[in-house]
Amino acid sequence: MNFFEANVSRLALSDSALAAAIRQSGGGTLEILPARTGMPSARANGRWIHSAYDPIKEAQAWAESQSYQDGETLIVFGMGLLYHVEALCARLPRAAPVVLVVSDLSIIADAAAARTWGDWIERVSWAWGTTAAISEQIAAAGHPLRLVTYAPAAALHADDHRAIEMALQRRVSAQASGQLRIAVVGPIYGGSLPITRYAVSALESLGHDVRWLDHSIHATSYHQLELLKNSQHRLALQSKYAEMLSRITMAQLAEDPPDLVLSLAQAPLILPALEHLRRKRFLTAIWFVENYRHLTYWQQLAAGYDFWFVIQQEPCIAALKQAGAKEVRYLPMAADLSVHRPLELTQTEREEYGSDVSFVGAGYANRREIFPRLLGHDWTFKLWGNEWDGATELTSVLQRNGARIDTDTCQKVFNASAVNLNLHSWAGTGLDPDGDFVNPRTFELAACGAFQLTDRRSLMADLFTEREVATVSSSDELPAKIARWLREPAQRVAMAAQARQRVLAEHTYAHRMRELLSQIGVASSDRIGAILRGARQAEALAATATDSFPSLASTLRTFPSTQRVELKQLAAQIRSRGPMGTLSREDLMVLMLDEYRSETKDLV
């Protein structure tokens, strides 16, 4: 039987241009093989796209696992032989729109030749062509959108799908008008504590209602446990302490449930707490601003968060998914322009903080091994920071006897130094041979308009060019690079200015938080996405309620049109109107739902 001709002719009735393109494409990308049940299955690059035993049953299980809300348009990534699309259409209401992203015409040609397409083909729209054209077709398909991925097939065109998803995220970000209620859970202490502060500030600047659950107030008590000499007692008590802080966090969230719980690295939320939050339908995310190779506690928490945002790409993303994380996205570091900025320093400050060459940071092994080579040259070198005990060769350049340096001092050093060294930490000697992520200091120095010389990183090229940030490939060439840049003050100033402009345009914490929320909004269109689109604002709610619930619509119009309105606010407005006898049936239903909400909100 000529499946191909029958299927493509049927497709031509709804999309003649696509049908013509499929006829010209040829096919041959998929290897068609019979499954154990006798139905055709497929492989590509040696990997099965559908089950080798029963592709129909597999597709039905996949379709059953997909969520759907009335009114949504489903965008399907991943093609194969389209068993999963057929199963999805069978499960959805007849009116539910489905758009299939066509990344490769030859795969559709293979699918058309393998088996007969059923009536589901009449329900599917096809988004195809260039990435820009596909993005436009999806954007015109109707909102809200829900992206669903058939992973075995989507993996064949991961870059295309990522580009399309990013285009949709930019669209969500550009159209965002709604206010989210976000609880940010920070660490007790450490490098991610100031990043938590910057993230909170950025989210507030974007107009969201942010509550910081600040556990740094517990740092003094926690550090007392580190003084215990018995390691078993110390570890046991630290574990109990983390469990207690998790319970405190859950109680705080129960008091005022947010739309999103955003943790920063080392936030004291243990896996049982995260699982409890999931059962209570809290949406959770973490920005893991750590090197996954060095700090491996993510292995125990991977399955606990709905979304992971990391500062490394592969193999970090694959490792998290292998450990149980469902959604993992790359999100690099940034700068806070209210903190990291050019400063006008007095002559006294320049003399105190300035030098030809400087470094601010802790005494990690590679830095202890490299920095003695910078002594004895015809430049001044100042070393700032703590954890340099025992580095006797560096005593002459170590400032303030190795005291910990606060943020204000950092900014003065950055602004006063001719060449700011920025060597990423590593436990070995020399520079990290696997260096990938770009540390916060890179963005902070650039935001200050300060010249920096940093070790080469594989992810740097997408963030800064060689005209913005100078790099060094090995520790052996570091002295020569320093000497070169000290001889070129005009070029240093020009590069630093360009780096600052790059940060202003692309690398602030506001940029990062907007991207984080837009990615969650695309992936969770019925929750975060709907709120970002303004679906919870008074005007939008009133428009929805006008025909069916006129009394409710009238109450909603008493709020400012762009104000977000929740059930408890609506109930309070109804109660303020007068005696219960004057209330409509709709009003009474709202009050009843609010009473139920109040009685069942306890989480602990």
Query: Can you tell me the mean pLDDT for 571-599?
Result: 79
Is pLDDT at 565 greater than 70 in this prediction?
Answer: yes
Strand 381-384 and strand 284-288: pairing? unpaired
State pLDDT tens for residues 233-290: 888 898 899 899 999 999 999 988 999 999 999 999 999 999 999 999 999 999 999 9
Cα dist. 61→57, 124, 254, 432, 584 in Å? 6, 20, 34, 45, 45
The two domains 181-330 and 347-507 share their CATH topology (first three levels equal): yes
pLDDT per residue as tens digits for the range 472-521: 999 999 999 999 999 999 999 999 999 999 999 999 999 999 999 989 98
- Report the distance separating Cα 30 and Cα 55, nearest Å: 15
Q: Domain ranges in the chain?
A: 3-175, 181-330, 347-507, 536-600
Fold of the domain spanning 347-507: Rossmann fold (3.40.50)
**Residue by residue, what is the 3-state secondary structure of 106-136?**
HHHHHHHHHCCCCHHHHCEEEEECCHHHHHH
Tokens 């709020």 belong to residue: 559
Q: Which two tokens stand for residue 94?
A: 């007849």
Per-residue pLDDT tens for 381-429?
999 999 999 999 999 999 999 999 999 999 999 999 999 999 998 888 8
State pLDDT tens for residues 205-237.
999 999 999 999 998 988 888 888 888 888 889
188 vs 210: CA distance, rounded Å: 19
Class of domain 181-330: alpha beta
